């Protein structure tokens, strides 16, 4: 049965450690035109650093931003890059430049069809591609985009989607769109989708927005500043209550003989295993206190990592 020990806590002085992009929670966008910010981003708590040479960069600065990123990769780094969309004047140049580097992955902007992925993957073989879907046209084709060979994860470009559709930012307004992302990713056996960013410096607003992402089964979120990463990581990780429930479930199950007792055991075993696997992947150490252990409820069914 599952080994609930040991857990290893991350060293708080160790910055800049990256997470497997399959499990990555915080995806930090960094303006490619601002090379002076690259080092600080690399030392941040972001699971993945994404240098942005698309929306963050004015047309006149595209070439210099691209060169900044190429130079950074030439120093032995392998971060991700958000490139300009298929059909723009910069898409081909972005790919040609990055093909010669150690780029870790691509976030492709404005994906609206299968061709956008297949053509990018053809020219960047073996480089994972996050399909950033940002329009009504893209959302209508999201199942095909998710199923396309070359698509690694889906990401929701909320700002451009709202501009394209006229939708507001209320979670209920965007519920249909978020649901489509989660279902398409699951149906195509992709890691869960990455939600769009939260604009502003309000910690409460970010916390609430991250909870919405989790509620819709989205396990990643785009971040706009390094300060947002820690809160996003926490909000998209198993909670201490969930970890405690999983450990207690396995202890009780083993004490009862380790045999399936009813129809609820297999789903609970799968859920508890997933929680503890993620806790280890994220270096979350369970707390030692047993306060309120007798009243702890099992984790919500909305936990979809």
| Residue whose entry in the numeric block shows the structure tokens 């329009």 | 135
What does the radius of gyration of the chain's CA atoms come to, in whole angstroms?
Answer: 20
Question: Two tokens at 51?
Answer: 């240098």
Single pTM value for the model: 0.89
Q: Which SS3 state, helix, strand or coil, does residue 128 take?
A: coil
β-strands 220-223, 194-195: how paired? parallel
DSSP state, 258?
Answer: S
Return the ∠ at Cα 66 (arms to 220 and 194), rounded to 5°. Answer: 10
- Considering the domain 26-235, what is its CATH architecture? Alpha-Beta Barrel (3.20)
**Which residues make beta-bridge pairs with 195?**
221
Residues in Cβ contact with 257 at an 8 Å cutoff, skipping those fewer than 6 apart: none
Residue-level pLDDT at 2: 61
Q: Which SS3 state, helix, strand or coil, does residue 105 take?
A: strand
Mean residue pLDDT of the chain comes to 91
Residues 166-177 pLDDT 10s: 999 999 999 999
Residues 278-287 pLDDT 10s: 999 999 988 8
For the chain, which residues make up each domain, given as ranges?
Answer: 26-235, 240-295
CA distance 108 to 92: 12
CA distance 7 to 291: 20
| Residue 274: HSE in the Cβ half-sphere, 13 Å Cα cutoff | 13
Among the listed residues 191, 189, 193, the one whose alpha carbon sits nearest the alpha carbon of residue 174: 193
Which of 297 and 96 is assigned the larger pLDDT? 96
Q: Which SS3 state, helix, strand or coil, does residue 230 take?
A: helix
| Structural contact between residues 238 and 284, judged by C-beta atoms closer than 8 angstroms | yes
Confidence category of residue 303, pLDDT binned at 50, 70, 90 = very low
CA distance 48 to 18: 6
Residues 87-140 pLDDT 10s: 999 999 999 999 999 999 999 999 999 999 999 999 999 999 999 999 999 999
Residue-level pLDDT at 286: 87
Q: At residue 67, what are phi and psi to the nearest 5 degrees?
A: -65, -35
CA distances from residue 16 to 38, 162, 205 in whole angstroms, order as listed: 11, 33, 25
Residue-level pLDDT at 287: 80
Output the CA torsion 215→149→229→224 (10° steps): -100
């Amino acid at each position: 049965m599952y080994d609930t020990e040991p857990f290893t806590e991350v060293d708080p002085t160790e910055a800049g450690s990256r997470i497997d992009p399959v499990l990555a929670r915080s995806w930090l966008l960094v303006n490619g035109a601002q090379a002076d910010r690259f080092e600080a981003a690399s030392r941040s708590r972001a699971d993945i650093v994404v240098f942005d040479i698309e929306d963050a960069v004015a047309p006149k600065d595209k070439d210099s931003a691209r060169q900044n990123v190429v130079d950074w990769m030439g120093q032995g780094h392998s971060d991700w890059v958000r490139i300009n969309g298929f059909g723009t004047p910069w898409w081909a140049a972005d790919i040609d430049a990055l093909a010669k580097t150690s780029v870790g992955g691509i976030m492709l902007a404005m994906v609206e069809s299968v061709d956008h992925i297949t053509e990018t993957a053809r020219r960047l073989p073996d480089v994972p591609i996050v399909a950033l879907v940002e329009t009504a046209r893209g959302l209508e084709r999201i199942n095909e985009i998710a199923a396309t060979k070359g698509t690694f994860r889906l990401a929701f470009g909320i700002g451009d989607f709202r501009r394209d559709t006229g939708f507001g930012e209320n979670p209920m307004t965007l519920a249909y769109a978020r649901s489509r992302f989660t279902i398409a990713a699951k149906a195509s056996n992709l890691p869960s989708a990455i939600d769009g960013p939260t604009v502003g410096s309000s910690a409460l607003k970010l916390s609430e927005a991250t909870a919405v992402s989790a509620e819709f089964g989205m396990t990643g979120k785009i971040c706009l500043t390094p300060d947002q990463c820690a809160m996003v990581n926490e909000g998209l990780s198993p909670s201490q209550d969930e970890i405690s429930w999983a450990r207690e479930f396995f202890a009780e199950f083993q004490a009862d003989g380790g045999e399936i007792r009813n129809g609820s055991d297999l789903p609970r075993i799968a859920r508890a295993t997933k929680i503890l696997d993620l806790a280890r992947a994220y270096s979350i150490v369970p707390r030692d206190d047993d306060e309120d252990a007798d009243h702890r409820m099992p984790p919500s069914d909305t936990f979809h990592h």
